[in-house]
Structure 1
Amino acid sequence: MDRMFRVLGFWTLAIALMALAGDFIPMALLFFAQTAIFVLLGYLKLSERAYILIFWGYMIISFTGVTYWSFFKMSV
């Protein structure tokens, strides 16, 4: 399970580099921070239950944030 967080780190790094190339600086910084967190978590050697709980917490926070942003902050 720890390898999965390193894979997530790889993909968030790819997204961050593409955002940086597209001049989306705030998005790139957000994804660079996620990359650092995922790679760090990948090397902590936690239990599988801890990794699953961390991942579900991440998913709930990110989906709530995207829903809030798309509903309240984006212009029509």
Structure 2
Amino acid sequence: MDNMFKLCGFWTGIFAVMFFIGGMMPATVIFVASTIFFLLLGYLNLTERMYMYMFGAYLMIFMVGFSYYATFIHVPGGGH
């Protein structure tokens, strides 16, 4: 299970680099934070149950934050 969190950290790091190259700084910061979170969890060697609890908590926080952003902050069609 710890290897899966390391893998998630790798892919969120790749996305952070892509967002950085694209000039999307808020997304870059979010994905760098996710990368750090996943890599930290990957090296803690917790039990599988604890990894599932941590991932569930991560998904809950992400969905609440994403819903708040999509509902109250994001302006549809607000391109450059």
TM norm. shorter chain > 0.5: yes
Matched, 1:67 2:67: yes
Gaps of 5+ in 1: none
Following TM superposition, by how much is the alpha carbon of 1:72 offset from its aligned partner in structure 2, in angstroms?
Answer: 1.3
TM-score, with length taken from structure 1: 0.93
Q: 4+ residue runs of structure 1 moved beyond 2 angstroms?
A: none
Rounded to whole Å, the distance in 2 between the matches of 1:23 and 1:75 is 18
Structure with the largest fraction of helix? 1
1:58 is paired with a residue whose SS is helix
Say which SS state the counterpart of residue 46 (structure 2) adopts. coil
After superposition, residues 18-29 of structure 1 pair within 5 angstroms as 18-29=18-29
Question: Identity of counterpart residues, as a percentage?
Answer: 41
Aligned partner of 1:46 in structure 2 is 46
Q: For 2:57, give the aligned amino acid.
A: G
Query: Deviation of residue 26 (structure 1)?
Result: 2.1
Matched positions, count: 76
